Structure 1
Amino acid sequence: MKNLIILLFTLCFTNTIISQDGRLNDSFGIKGIVSTNILELNESATDVLIQEDGKILMLGSGEKLLATKGIALQRLNKDGSTDSEFGENGKVLTTNFDYDAIGISCAIQADKKIIVVGKATHLSDKISSLMLVRYDSNGDIDFNFGKNGFVILKTNNNVIPYDMTLYPDGKIVVVGTLEIQNITYGVIYRFNVDGTIDNSFSVDGVQSIYYLDLNILSCVKVQSDGKILVGGHASLSIDFDNFLFLNRYNHDGTLDSTFDKSYYFFNSPIPQTEETAEDLLIQKDGKIVLLSNYLDTLDQRYIILRRFEQTGKIDLTFANSGIQKTKVSYFTYATKFNIQTNGKLLVAAFTLNSYQATIQRYLSNGILDNTFGVDGIASITIKEKAVILNQIAIQSDGQIIGVGTLFNYDLGLITEEDVFIMRLNTDGSLDHNFGNQGNLISNFGSDERSRDIAIQKDGKILLAGEIFNGLDFDIVVVRYNPNGSLDTSFNKTGKVITDAESSEFAKSIAIQSDGRIVVGGIRYNDNNADIILIRYNPDGSIDKSFDTDGKVITDLGFDEQTKDISIYPNGKIVLGADYYDTAQSDIAILRYNIDGSLDKSFNATGIVFFDTGYDEYIGALNLQGDDKILVTGNQNKGTRSDILTARINTDGKPDIGFNVFGYVTTDLNLGRGLGTSVVQQMDGKILVSGIGDNSFGTNLRNALIRYLPSGMLDTTFGTRGIVYTVLSQIDFSNDAIIQKDGKILVAGASYNGANLDIVVLKYNSNGSLDNTFNLNGIKQIDFAAYYANSITINENGNIYICAESEAYEFNDFVLLSISNSISNTSTSIGLQVIESVAANPNPCSNQTTLQFSNKLDHATIEIWNSNAQMVQKVEDVSGLQYRINLDNLIHGIYIVKVIDGNTNLSTSKMLVKME
């Protein structure tokens, strides 16, 4: 059978708003803005440096699926493109499996090696330590530093680094805090070039500061004479007024008595409620500038700059008093600042409630520079994305690089935060030649994800997921013919994308008896997550008889995260969600009428909050033959979590015929457990697939549990009702179904030593593996680090799986079909690959590079316009990438179709060409 493989990737323009005088500079990245999903799940940028050669080095943190959080480095060329000579495709992620690590600050030695300081939190005792890592200039770890490239200053108390700087001789100075009982000390550490503690500094390499009970050292610089300047703030506790201090230390760690003592610890002449030191710098003339955030007694917030003479006295020539106050909104915070070669000061800030990053520029005398942005302030707003601007750097030509974190409001298991990079021209306008309108989105991240699968009566296959539109995520439903080709009778294109004016994520799909399609998911608004239901007609159009516009959004007052839906024979819809209030998490079960209204015959309100006295989380739900509701998930008891399975009557009350209380918990003796699917057998027994975890995501186990209708474990199944199948260190199941013959199919993943494989397991009804399936009951598919999300089976017994990638640079809708027999288990793929194709850059101008996840052999590349006309064709393409010229194309949206020369399988990518 010929398999048509379609990959759809959409990247549109980021909706960026700049202040009146702001113009995007088209020379950096793609129109000046880059928002980067650097690694797999959550990413943030905390520091940025410009190398001598003009390359941009960015530091932050990131985490991959099933791994600890690590230090992330990315290096870009001067124009914002990826520096392929650094790490892997310009990026390095450094993890230590005993710690979660966050990069705080970085510096470049004279020999071009890179020093990073970070916070390392031990996974078992949760104690935070200072971590140093050194890299060679190409991104490799320097094993001559510390122990195998690392220094972890492990103590019995929390040590949190805030800033770092280097001496010209390579010695390293780090400032931060040390918590001992109820006291937080400010601390200064000095290390030798090899990473050992420098005992010539304050005898033991450490100098502490104590003024009040809470002392925070937040910034440090080394003067040209080797003396150390530190800035910070102190208070009686976190709830009391803060006071600033500025200290100077001699090379040996003693206080410098020549530095004006009145500023060792000073009460500002401004009436105080709260003031925090953020950064300091030293001008060429030796004068010292300190940046702080200040909140007065009337809750008015200011950004404060103070300048001091070399002696430590306040410099009265700066802003006429030595202090510059800039009035800002209550939610605006300054983070870091820098100085231009002409002495002008640049301050980075962000505003929490307006999705806005700002850079302020001051003249050398402390007055706002009205030639920059609007009245001295350049503002950058990205619609529906919160931006925290953490650091700025200045290129040799005066252009300004800003980095930080961009929040996408995806609170699920995939990406929540992306790295944000922007470049401004010297007048404060965004550099349109960098990134996407001044920002760069350099995706290691997700483009589209398939979450759930369903098969219609006619054999057509539905996948639901989400797709990134260049600004946020929308829900997408795709329909395929039984042979895997796109069904163009469905919304004319085979797919329908639904935007509810925010970020929306699909979690489950179900089909009504009349063929209408219901998708349940999550919709994020400014403050929290809500439940969303969307109903489509069989042709893919929105069903406007469902709450007038086809969409129902339910807000229970806090965060609600949809996990699963099911449909009654009469068309009513039951939905399960996690419900988070200020105190705990409960399971919420909602039932809707066929018109989308809440069904008040269900617990009087249409809503049941299932609470066992602990935190509960739902993994899945299903309906029994008698319409009772089965729910599985977990009960979190703090030190451990057990698999929770519950049964609810049709009126919304717990079924006391199920283990008396209406629920049962099962301890897998692995520390943590989660039920991921639940289904009732023909004989009334209840099957739950789940995951057991005994070491925070690094030792996962597949589990199958079967209960009697009464809620007792079925001892005829496996060992006392439980079956474990161990394939590797990391195995997990996401879905399970029961065939008509009673055999069980489970879909999930297993770790192959490098990444995840898709796994399908087939069991006999007694829990033993079915050796008529792929000889041993196990089908393991090494498929570009994808794992199965959902499994279903058609009338002919063919198995279909929707899958998602842990390697998000190639995260696409994937549909696989595998045969259900002893040996004929060749994989046919309904939606994916030759393998995947990525375009960099995208959007692009005259050229872009197509990158393939598998090597091509004599392939053909076709480019089609939006009128379904082929406008360009390239034949005999081989290799892992191909640079394609687009000079003859006008700006617009195109489909790039790649057809493999050997298999005739094809994949497509959406490409945006700009003017």
Structure 2
Amino acid sequence: MKNLIILLFTLCFTNTIVSQDGRLNDSFGIKGIVSTNILELNESATDVLIQEDGKILMLGSGEKLLATKGIALQRLNKDGSTDSEFGENGKVLTTNFDYDAIGISCAIQADKKIIVVGKATHLSDKISSLMLVRYDSNGDIDFNFGKNGFVILKTNNNVIPYDMTLYTDGKIVVVGILEIQNITYGVVYRFNADGTIDNSFSVDGVQSIYYFDLNVASCVKVQSDGKILVGGHAGGSSKYVSALYLNRYNQDGSLDSTFDKTFFFFNPPIPKTEETFEDLLIQKDGKIVILSTYLDTMDQRYIILRRFEQSGKIDLTFADSGIQKTKVSYYTYATKFNIQTNGKLLVATFTFNSSQAIIQRYLSNGILDNTFGVDGIAKISIKDKAAILNQIAIQSDGQILGVGTLYIYDSRLITEEDMFTIRLNTDGSLDHNFGNQGKLISDFGSDERSRDIAIQNDGKILLAGEIFNGLDFDIVVVRYNPNGSLDTSFNKTGKVITDAESSEFAKSISIQSDGRIVVGGIRYNDNNADIILIRYNPDGSIDKSFDTDGKVITDLGFDEQTKDLSIYPNGKIVLGADYYDTAQSDIAILRYNIDGSLDKSFNATGIVFFDTGYDEYIGALNLQGDDKILVTGNQYKGTRSDILTTRINTDGKPDIGFNVFGYVTTDLNLGRGLGTSVVQQMDGKILVSGIGDNSFGTNLRNALIRYLPSGMLDTTFGTRGIVYTVLSQIDFSNDAIIQKDGKILVAGATYNGANLDIVVLKYNSNGSLDNTFNLNGIKQIDFAAYYANSIAINEDGNIYICAESEAYEFNDFVLLSISNSISNTSTSIGVQVIENVAANPNPCSNQTTLQFSNILDHATIEIWNSNAQMVQKVEDVSGLQYRINLDNLIHGIYIVKVIDGNTNLSTSKMLVKME
């Protein structure tokens, strides 16, 4: 569950912003830039509001990997920092299990509640509907609105909203389009404050607009007298592409016959021209200003402003006979505009394939204001990203906020969309006190997985894994300080992403003696997988002395799957991979020189193919003290497999001193086995952790095996050299390390009856469980279905684990730290874990009793759905149990999070609600 992770891997994209006059204001954020992550894949911003207290509310959409697209809200403090009182870390993503949703427009009620209108597209029939959602001021869904906070106007035809506004009594007016066969109607809907259709408006709550075959209702405003202004464009005639209309309706939904203007062209009407209605606003004096984009017969585009009297007649005192046109490029469009307290008009525009967000300012008489930007136009360049500015808001101090969407391209394909916010000073220069040099990018992230861990000599912690970028996967390395905070001296952000122009997956990370970092993984090339090695400098930059670009890709002709790597003291790198040819699978061992070239002193080619005549798969490799290579995995014989361990000399030849043949197989008597880690003790004995399976994945066993240096089983260890530890029906180990005192730490998972728990086992050197560790040698952590991938220990004896979720769509970089003592409390970085919470019954219907292993004192209970949204919260809970009502929840899988009010310890439990 994304909200329950211990340490969250976040992506922060930072770009240089240059204002027209170059003036900086460094009092906002970090040199004016703030980057955030809301754990989603693609985001777009469509609206922005400034609350009475000056906080900034942004609306858009966000998409999570393998989940529906949803409505995204983010609230910022005045300085651009995240408002922690809103949602989860200032952010809310609302999804509906049956729909893809996009936020279109938002408004704030008098009671501070937030109304959002959006488009909801059903996943099965693909019909789009109007959706309304209401939130409390803290970002929680308001369940008193509509049905559980939602109104979805489902019809048999597409209904797409374009704009929304509120009456002072809370009624909601929405405009948009209704598509019926080949005709598109403009529509105006009015809802009561509770989300029901207001039948006092046009009898059935809806008014349609029809002039031609295409009619779009783009914008809506309510006058102080309650009358409704609706603007849009219509087309379909052979004489023109489209023209504008501006209608005014009485409160009952009838057209206001006293309003002069209903339908008009650019004056005079010209055949084969196109004009689109973008926005409208009402001045304090009641005059009406509209914004449009116009394309003439010569393919020249203009931004058009018109002003009308309250009666609907054109205001001849504005610009040139009521109309102001500004010539722009063919690919430039206006989006929205706003009015300052002094009557000046701010217009947001964008140009396709341009990295500039553009704002124009006009005087109250319609003339460009040359005191703003350069000749009335401020251009904000965002390097390497296409920016579409969608909305403008004005703060009480006159500073200007713009929000929109950044489109990141790769080979002309959009690979990512992010929200962005800019803030300008009143003269059009960027406010460098806001975000990062006047700009804030909100990246709602993606799916990340941590695969391996390494600890530097200074105690800093490295995690390697991969992240989905919207198109494919890239390798990610994150570095933490010993206290778990991101190390910003590492690539400035604490993390580095590397793309090798395909999908890349990290499998192993190791540190050279000089501090350089090597990551081994898999790179997919068309239908094949190759080996990839990447080397970084200690500061996180790519080491270009490593094969000129920091990356080495090795293709052995078929599929190669990297599993593990290790580094010699002299900097040479040894890597183990599965090698698949057309006939069978073998183990490939490769050795590289320090510059990334294959080491030809190793088996003449730098490569050893290990083949026993069967299928072999590698689980792990390591180096002995004498630089010989230890490899473990398994050997398949038909439907059975044994744990396979081999030792290879430094020249690449099998070590015949290891069980004569250079390898040994061990039958766990469970049908199938796999060695997952291998390490040499100080006395030369070899320890292998593994998994035994006698029922194809439904009955797994932990196994720990110790061999003598000769390859024979060490009969002084466990039972004839093997230790089994049975905790549940499913137990497995992924990694093992040996402490300086000879005790053994094993990390993996066990089954708790519903999902997997992280487990750490500590053994004495003879194979017995160490009862000084968590009283019984076993530490089990119920942590949102995560399991341990890798384990490491620092000089102080602290244990660190990187973990991964068994659910593909719920993954983040997770790092846990566990105390290495008798204490029965495990400490995770950022959050501590209490022992247990149980739900009875589970699955449940409308109620269940939560039972706690220790007495809670003023605790908080949170329930999160599978889309990473908190859907219910109960505070001030004390005692050993609590009966919780679940009436507001639909059927599905939830995570219950319990946070103790006194100790701030937390735990989580999966909960299933039935229909």
Shorter chain as denominator, the TM-score bin is 0.5 to 0.7
CA distance in 1, matches of 2:434, 2:800: 42
Q: Secondary structure at the match of 1:414?
A: strand
Q: How far did 1:97 drift?
A: 2.9
C-alpha RMSD of matched pairs (Å): 14.7
Distance 1:634 1:313, change over 3 A: farther
Asked if 2 retains the 8 angstrom alpha-carbon contact of 1:700 and 1:729, the reply is: yes
Bigger CA radius of gyration:
2
Distance 1:683 1:156, change over 3 A: farther
Asked if 2 retains the 8 angstrom alpha-carbon contact of 1:11 and 1:912, the reply is: no
Q: How far did 1:173 drift?
A: 0.6
Alignment of 1:368-767 (within 5 A): 368-407=368-407, 416-440=416-440, 450=450, 463-465=463-465, 519=519, 534-535=534-535, 547-551=547-551
Q: How far did 1:105 drift?
A: 1.0
Distance 1:428 1:65, change over 3 A: same
Q: Secondary structure at the match of 1:3?
A: helix
Distance 1:535 1:872, change over 3 A: farther
Q: How far did 1:16 drift?
A: 3.0
Distance 1:56 1:235, change over 3 A: same
Q: Deviations over 1:255-303 (max 9, x none)?
A: 3333335626778746655432221112223322222233444444332
CA distance in 1, matches of 2:722, 2:628: 24
Q: How far did 1:66 drift?
A: 6.3
CA distance in 2, matches of 1:240, 1:634: 73
CA distance in 1, matches of 2:635, 2:336: 43
- Report which stretch shifted further, 889-898 or 440-449: 889-898
Distance 1:686 1:9, change over 3 A: closer
Q: Deviations over 1:192-249 (max 9, x none)?
A: 2222111122221111123333322221112223222222223449999343332222
CA distance in 2, matches of 1:780, 1:653: 42
Asked if 1 retains the 8 angstrom alpha-carbon contact of 2:465 and 2:506, the reply is: yes
- Report which stretch shifted further, 345-354 or 469-478: 469-478
Distance 1:30 1:680, change over 3 A: closer
Distance 1:312 1:417, change over 3 A: same
Distance 1:483 1:835, change over 3 A: farther
Q: How far did 1:191 drift?
A: 0.9
Distance 1:850 1:638, change over 3 A: same
Q: How far did 1:171 drift?
A: 1.7
CA distance in 1, matches of 2:202, 2:667: 53
CA distance in 1, matches of 2:608, 2:840: 48
- Report which stretch shifted further, 239-248 or 770-779: 770-779
Q: How far did 1:899 drift?
A: 22
Q: Deviations over 1:52-88 (max 9, x none)?
A: 3333222223355665443333333333344444444
Q: Secondary structure at the match of 1:188?
A: strand
Asked if 1 retains the 8 angstrom alpha-carbon contact of 2:42 and 2:470, the reply is: no
Map of 1:140 onto structure 2: 140
1:225 matches 2:225: yes
TM-score (structure 2 length as normaliser): 0.59
Distance 1:797 1:503, change over 3 A: same
- Report which stretch shifted further, 508-517 or 723-732: 723-732
Q: Deviations over 1:313-354 (max 9, x none)?
A: 433433214332323344433221101111110012234433
- Report which stretch shifted further, 662-671 or 138-147: 662-671
Asked if 1 retains the 8 angstrom alpha-carbon contact of 2:784 and 2:909, the reply is: no
Q: Deviations over 1:592-636 (max 9, x none)?
A: 999999999999999999999999999999999999999999999
Corresponding pairs, count: 915
Asked if 2 retains the 8 angstrom alpha-carbon contact of 1:207 and 1:253, the reply is: yes
Q: Secondary structure at the match of 1:111?
A: coil
CA distance in 2, matches of 1:43, 1:868: 16
- Report which stretch shifted further, 559-568 or 88-97: 559-568
Q: How far did 1:163 drift?
A: 0.4
Q: Deviations over 1:125-178 (max 9, x none)?
A: 332221112233343433332223322211122211110011233221101112
Q: Which ranges in structure 1 are unaligned for 5 or more consecutive residues?
A: none
Q: How far did 1:376 drift?
A: 0.8
Distance 1:4 1:185, change over 3 A: closer
- Report which stretch shifted further, 12-21 or 843-852: 843-852
Asked if 2 retains the 8 angstrom alpha-carbon contact of 1:814 and 1:830, the reply is: no
Q: Percent identity?
A: 93
Q: Secondary structure at the match of 1:709?
A: coil
Q: Secondary structure at the match of 1:595?
A: coil
Asked if 2 retains the 8 angstrom alpha-carbon contact of 1:4 and 1:831, the reply is: no
- Report which stretch shifted further, 64-73 or 122-131: 64-73
Q: Deviations over 1:555-594 (max 9, x none)?
A: 9999999999999999999999999999999999999999
Alignment of 1:238-257 (within 5 A): 241-257=241-257
Asked if 2 retains the 8 angstrom alpha-carbon contact of 1:559 and 1:580, the reply is: yes
CA distance in 2, matches of 1:56, 1:876: 30
Distance 1:150 1:209, change over 3 A: same
Distance 1:773 1:658, change over 3 A: same
Distance 1:307 1:779, change over 3 A: farther
Distance 1:883 1:231, change over 3 A: same
Distance 1:514 1:192, change over 3 A: closer
Distance 1:30 1:668, change over 3 A: farther
Asked if 1 retains the 8 angstrom alpha-carbon contact of 2:781 and 2:835, the reply is: no
Distance 1:130 1:886, change over 3 A: closer
- Report which stretch shifted further, 353-362 or 652-661: 652-661
Asked if 2 retains the 8 angstrom alpha-carbon contact of 1:69 and 1:101, the reply is: yes
CA distance in 2, matches of 1:632, 1:241: 71
Asked if 2 retains the 8 angstrom alpha-carbon contact of 1:466 and 1:474, the reply is: yes
Q: How far did 1:373 drift?
A: 1.1
Distance 1:206 1:42, change over 3 A: same
Distance 1:542 1:322, change over 3 A: closer
- Report which stretch shifted further, 177-186 or 86-95: 86-95
Distance 1:36 1:826, change over 3 A: closer
Distance 1:117 1:535, change over 3 A: same
Distance 1:59 1:245, change over 3 A: same
Distance 1:325 1:900, change over 3 A: same
Q: How far did 1:487 drift?
A: 15
Q: How far did 1:13 drift?
A: 10
- Report which stretch shifted further, 852-861 or 433-442: 852-861
Give the number of the structure with larger relative contact order, counting CA–CA contacts within 8 Å between residues 6 or more apart.
1
Map of 2:82 onto structure 1: 82
Distance 1:907 1:244, change over 3 A: same
Asked if 1 retains the 8 angstrom alpha-carbon contact of 2:12 and 2:35, the reply is: no
Distance 1:73 1:699, change over 3 A: farther
Distance 1:79 1:753, change over 3 A: farther
Q: How far did 1:93 drift?
A: 3.5
Distance 1:387 1:781, change over 3 A: farther
Distance 1:380 1:483, change over 3 A: closer
Q: Deviations over 1:440-480 (max 9, x none)?
A: 46788699974556999999997435899999999765799
CA distance in 2, matches of 1:214, 1:572: 68
CA distance in 1, matches of 2:871, 2:276: 59
Asked if 2 retains the 8 angstrom alpha-carbon contact of 1:630 and 1:647, the reply is: yes
Asked if 1 retains the 8 angstrom alpha-carbon contact of 2:175 and 2:188, the reply is: yes
Asked if 2 retains the 8 angstrom alpha-carbon contact of 1:319 and 1:366, the reply is: yes
TM-score (structure 1 length as normaliser): 0.59
Q: Deviations over 1:506-541 (max 9, x none)?
A: 687799999998757999999999999745699999
Asked if 2 retains the 8 angstrom alpha-carbon contact of 1:171 and 1:191, the reply is: yes
Q: How far did 1:393 drift?
A: 1.0
CA distance in 1, matches of 2:476, 2:21: 38
Q: Deviations over 1:638-691 (max 9, x none)?
A: 999999999999999999999999999999999999999999999999999999
Asked if 1 retains the 8 angstrom alpha-carbon contact of 2:10 and 2:37, the reply is: no
Distance 1:294 1:78, change over 3 A: same
CA distance in 1, matches of 2:643, 2:137: 48
Q: Secondary structure at the match of 1:421?
A: strand
CA distance in 1, matches of 2:694, 2:268: 52
Q: Deviations over 1:404-424 (max 9, x none)?
A: 234566999999444322222
CA distance in 2, matches of 1:220, 1:588: 67
CA distance in 2, matches of 1:553, 1:34: 36
Asked if 2 retains the 8 angstrom alpha-carbon contact of 1:489 and 1:539, the reply is: yes
